Amino acid sequence: MKTSINGISINYRDQGRGIPVILIHAFPMNQTMWDDQVLALAPICRVITMDLRGFGASDIPLGPYWMALMASDVRGVMARLGIERAVLVGLSMGGYVAMSFYRNFPDSVSGLVLADTRAAGDNPEGRERRFASASKAEREGVESILDEMVQVLLSQTAISTRPDVVNRVRQIALQNHPEGLAAAQRGMAARPDSTDLLTRTDCPALVIVGADDRLSPPEEARRWQERMPNSRLAIIHGAGHLSNIEQPDLFNQALANFISTL
Ligand code: MLT
């Protein structure tokens, strides 16, 4: 379904009934990366997914897409659906958006799930890498940055033994346009450090991380999770960065357990 939020068209799905749970996707994906989660969760809660601005079937306005801007799009979708408070589930870039949402609208968050994401901002080299990747995508297309991305998005095991998973990730990424990906990279480069913010959260929180996540490794996730009040850590074995795609059953179980405690 489409709705107009902040002057652009946003594509979203809204399924199931009960406590609202909003799933926010990673880079360079779109809302279809959550298909397994929607199937598993719709019988127990109200699941909402959306294509962030610049991704999937949502509009691609000029960037950069600051995390706060994408958070305000999420808030717009909530308002349109008459939802005052929701559980936010963000994976990687979706986690950055969820942290920004919490910074700006803490009273609208009933639970926070941060999966395969990082509390810290980028260092100068990380920012440079993003700017280079943004320009490359604009010059040479999405395909040109994909091989390198897949290497860090998935575990080595998946890369060498699960062509279906590799293909699915590539196909989702290829549905995006270079302009949207570049604008999101530039927005992520500017995101603030959220480490202190996370020590002050007052809603229940769950941190999920793939045991083989090389982009946001478990040791790093544990360091900031331990400083988050009222939080738990779930390590997903046999998964890299896109833990919801590599091990949907384990990921869904962790999510369902958390939701059942709210
Ligand atoms: C993601 O999976 O959303 C991105 O890899 C996050 C990032 O580039 O920091």
Atom of ligand 1 nearest to the CA of 91: 3
pLDDT, average across residues 250-259 = 98
Q: What is the pLDDT of residue 221?
A: 98
User: 4: CA distance to ligand 1 center in Å?
Assistant: 26
Q: Is 241 a catalytic residue?
A: yes
Distances in Å between the Cα of 246 and the Cα atoms of 36, 159, 219 are 11, 10, 20
Tell me, yes or no, if 92 is annotated catalytic.
yes
Residue 89 has a pLDDT of: 99
* Nearest in space to 120 (alpha carbons), one of 48, 196, 60, 182: 196
Average pLDDT, the chain: 98
Secondary structure class of 210 (helix, strand, coil): strand
Contacts of 139 (CB under 8 A, 6+ apart): none
Residue range 172-220, pLDDT digits in tens: 999 999 999 999 999 999 999 999 999 999 999 999 999 999 999 999 9
What DSSP letter does each residue of 1-32 carry, written as one string?
A: -EEEETTEEEEEEEES-SSEEEEE--TT--GG
Nearest CA to ligand 1 atom 5: 27
Rounded to the nearest angstrom, the distance between the alpha carbon of 44 and the centre of ligand 1 is: 29
Instruction: Encode pLDDT of 51-83 as tens digits.
Output: 999 999 999 999 999 999 999 999 999 999 999
pLDDT per position as a tens digit, 112-163:
999 999 999 999 999 999 999 999 999 999 999 999 999 999 999 999 999 9
| Band of pLDDT at residue 99, cut at 50, 70 and 90 | very high
Among candidate residues 58, 116, 133, 241, the one labeled active-site is 241
Cβ(259)–Cβ(21) below 8 Å: yes
212 as an active site residue: the answer is no
